[in-house]
Structures are given as C-alpha cells and as structure tokens.
Structure 1
Amino acid sequence: MKRNRKTAAVTGSVAALLALVTACGGGGQVGGGDEGGDQAAPGNKKLVLIPGTQAEPFYISMQCGAEAEAGKLGYTLETQAPQKFDAALQTEKVNALGSAPPAGLLIAPTDDQAMIAPIQQVKNGGTKVVEVDTSLKDKNVAVSSISSDNAEGGKLAAQTLAKLVGDKPGSVLVLDTIAGTSTTNARAKGFEDELKNYPNLKSVGAQFTQNEPDQAASKVTAALSSTPDLIGIFATNLNTGEGAATGLRNAGKIGQVNLVGFDASPSEVEGLRKGEYQGLIAQDPASIGQQGVQQAVAALEGKPVQRDITAGLHSITKDTMDANAQYFYKQQC
C-alpha cells in the first residue's frame, strides 16, 4: 500500500506539471530553432525596431519597409531610436523593454560587443531578436540577421572609384565611423583590399570620424594639406560622406577629388546631382526592414527562419542615377 500511494503521488505530480506546462503555452512550437527563451505571450503582436540612430534616411527607409510588412502580417511595429549612434544610448532603449517585452525585437546593434549583454537579456525574456543592418559578434543571440554584404560594398566602392579615376595615379583616403561598428568597418576593409588591385591608387589608410560630419570634414582638410596627390575619398556612411563633401567644398576641391559615398540619402543624391559626389553605393534599407519583420514573425509562429540574409547593393553615378531612383532613401514614410 505504501508503494501504491507513492506511485499515485508521482502520477499526480506529473499530471499537475503537464497542466502547468500547457497553461504556459509549452505545447506551442518554438520558432526557427531558437532555443533561448520561450515564445511570446499569446496575443502579443508587438514588434519593436531599435535602429542605430534617429532621423537618418537609411533607418527611416528601413522603418517604412518594416511597418508596411508588420501591418500586412497582422503585427504592430514601434520604432524607438536613440538620439545618436552610441552604444550607451541604445542600451537605454533596450533595457527599457524589460517592463513590457515585445514579441519581437529588430535591432541594428551600434557596437558588436558592447550590445551583446543587453540584447541577450531581452532574448532571455522570451523576445525573438532579429539583427538588421549591423550584427553582434555573438551569433547565438539573434534568430536571423539581415544586412548588405558590407565587405562587398566596400569592394564595389573601390571598383567605382577606379573606374572614375582611370589610369591617373594618386592617393586615397578612407573615412570610417567608429571602431566596433561591424558594417562600416567591413566596408572600409573591403575597399582597401580591393584597392590593392589598382597599382595607380595608393591608400593612405582609414581614419575614424566617430560618425560626426564635422570630424569627417576636419579629416579631409588635414588630408588635403598632408597629401597633395589626394585623388579619392571613400566615405563609409551618410555622416562621413556629408562631412567629406563639406571639407572638399571649404577647400575648393569639389570635383577635383573623387568622393564615393555609401548610402543614398536625399542629401547624398542631391550632392551626386550637383557633382559633390562622383559615386554612391546604395543599399536597400526598406527591403532589410521588410525581411527583418518576416523573419521575426516566422520565429514567433514556429516557421522556418533563415539565419543570414544578404540585401542588394547598387553602384550609382551621375550618369546612372535616374535609372536607379528606386534605391534613393526616404525622409518619411
């Protein structure tokens, strides 16, 4: 009898445990093979996008694509952008999600190492994480990562510059943003690696601008003084490009030094039309946002998730800009 009572007790405990698991949604399917955290609470249709910074046309275009796709799939998307491209400011936005965790988080990490811990904390709460544009060094945090092939983008920029310059010899400056920013660092490296294939062009190295246009302008002013044969500049994003154009304008060197920028913001497109830029490497941020939502929803609904997705890149010059207008970035949705 004692043994029978024990067996009955164990059986009852198992039944109670199964009931508890069922009540908590444990019978649901975990999306995309992501083993960290549980599924979002039933009925949670909220997605949050935390881009690198606010008011940049690249991120606005990404937001537009993400919002449209979320609505199509029956979800809502809220954008919470830090004032500057800064890991501490972005961490504040991520930490604030703890009080009301979204079902899914789309985020462009501003530092591939410093953002791991705060994003992991959100994941631990059951939120599905998708990286858009930039990524973390730790590949186990996000269920999916959508970005341009930034090294390939840098390579394309070098090819574009070489075509613009022809056989003329000269030195080339690379303006990067912040050390630890995965996207721009990859662009700079891809550019310098490809530049080695053109013996008439010599790199004077990459300089960091902290993503501030005024610092980019100062770097260009200094380079023009120290490097008389400066023939080209590669600016790895919008802010460095705008700063580089300002530096060339102030020195009266517009058109004399070939400026190839990354992205296609309204100001960069206008600069290309006016001859301040000679080339732009455009991404497709709306597609990145759209696909980011698709992967987050797939993970939430237990459907297959693609871990890494590469978005398209396009080299645009003044001669080809009208044919590529669909890749110009937006200032509002």
Structure 2
Amino acid sequence: MKKILITGAAGFLGSHLCDKFIDEGFKVIGMDNLITGDLKNIEHLFKLDNFEFYHHDVSKFVHVADELDYILHFASPASPIDYLKIPIQTLKVGSLGTHNLLGLAKAKDARLLIASTSEVYGDPLVHPQTEDYYGNVNTIGPRGVYDEAKRFQESMTMAYHRFHGLETRIVRIFNTYGPRMRLNDGRVIPAFIGQALRGEDLTVFGDGSQTRSFCYVDDQVEGIYKLLLSDYAEPVNIGNPYEISILDFAEEIIKLTGTEQKIVFKPLPKDDPMQRQPDITRAKSILGWEPKVNREEGMKLTYDYFKSLSKEELQRSEHKDFSVHNRK
C-alpha cells in the first residue's frame, strides 16, 4: 500500500484530497495545525485503518516515522480574510514549512507536490495566464504575504529538484469551489452564498467587471492526482478556463437561490486582480485533463451542501478565531 502525507488535511481542498487517495487505495497520513482547517471535514475518515491524523504545524520540524511514497503540501491559508489576519504564519508556512517538507521528502525519497496558486501571476498583464508568464505582483502590498509565499515556495521546490534531483511537482490552482468551503472567508463563492443564505444583499467590489474562472473541487482534485503521478516537474495550471465577470456571477447566484437580493457595490480592494483565467493547454497535453463539471451543476451541488447544514454548522463554517495565532 502506497503511503502519502497530506498537509492542510483538514482544509477544504486537503480534505477532498484525503478522500481521493483513500478511494485510490493509499495509506493517508493527514497533518494540520487547524488554524484554518476543521476536523469536521475529515472526521468521517478517523474510523478507517488506512488513515491517521497528526495535529502539527509544518512550520516547525516535521517527523513521520513511516516510510513515505508521496507528500502533498497543502498547508496554507488560502483566502484573503485568513492571510490578511495571519500574515506572518502565511509567510512561514510557504517558506519554513516548504523547506521542512522538502527535507522530509529528500530523507524519505518521496515525491513532493506543492500547492501553488494563480496568485503568483498577481494582477496579470497577460490573458489568459500561461505557466511561462512571470506575473505582476506587488511584493509589499497586503496580498504580497500570500503571493510571495507561493512564489518563494515554487523557487525552493525547483531548487531541490535541480540541486538534489528530488521528484517534485507544482500545481497552480485557480479559483476552486465546492462542499466544505468556509463561508465568508473572503472568496467570491462562499461570500455570495453566505449573504444569500442570510437574506443579505450581495456585495460586489468595484464595478464587477473583474473576471474569475471557477473550477469544481472534484475536477481540481482529479487534476492534482494526475499531476502527482505524472513525470512533469514544471508548474501546471489546474482550473476551469470558462471566464465570467463578478457582476454576472452575482446575478447567477440570485437566480440559483431564488431570492430577491439586490447587488451593492463597494470599493475594489488594493491589488485585487482584474482578470483570472487559466490557460490549460499544458494540463490537456501532458495530463490529458480538463474540467468536466459545468458551473451550473457545480454551484447547485455547492449551494445544496450549505443549505443542508444546521444553523450551528453554518455558524462554525463562517467564523475562525485567529487571536491565539496573530502575533506569532
């Protein structure tokens, strides 16, 4: 049985990846410090013999007694609200955490895949974004703590690949959505759904002309799985290339929820990218991957998930207390 360590295992994407690798017959070791993750996302796995969990911060030394075949590094705040509240931890998990896991991969002779992001492109001057575009990032802006953590993470990963011959993979994740997202974490879809569930008007920043491309979580996970098992070490975009403006998307949400909310406009946050659309030519040609779930289907599944939650579960999904961590 192949063994895989998944960091950020209790998070949105991490928990779905745990499910995927369990289903594929792997022994899965999940690791999370639970700053932004939630054990509820993986509690259904605790009864399984081929799953175990470590409550640990990967910014500190990482020890795993077992042999490992693969490591997925998905430990990081991934939403603007999170990484603006805990900027130091965001930088540390992208730098110290990545260094620790690269060292672990080297010691275990394991293949490591890191979760990078479309944010490495910043507010792009190239559209759609291809993997050979270097980006347009404000290093000292409020979003720089996340953008630069991911860019450094990529650089260190490639250094280990070139200098030590370590087997590494880099996935650049574009906007992904689905069940287990946290409401009101600053990302578009959970923010809109949270407002719709509470009967509030939907907040659009700027004039709503900025665009995003949304990928359903099952498609994202399948792309990551294929990349891990491929022979390709350069970054690969995994996302849905179908682009929509935020204003049009807000109107879609109102139609989906059957409510009568209005759309209200607020100033655009600093360095908020105006365009997000992946070029997935590389994923198609190298991995034979492209998304299958259209936005209408994926959004219905996501909205139905949040509607099924109890009031207590919804409140837990909305709030995270960072007070213990905000000075570290």
TM-score, normalised relative to structure 2:
0.41
TM-score, normalised relative to structure 1:
0.40
Greater relative contact order (Cα 8 A, min sep 6): structure 1 or 2? Answer: 1
Please say which structure displays the higher CA radius of gyration.
1
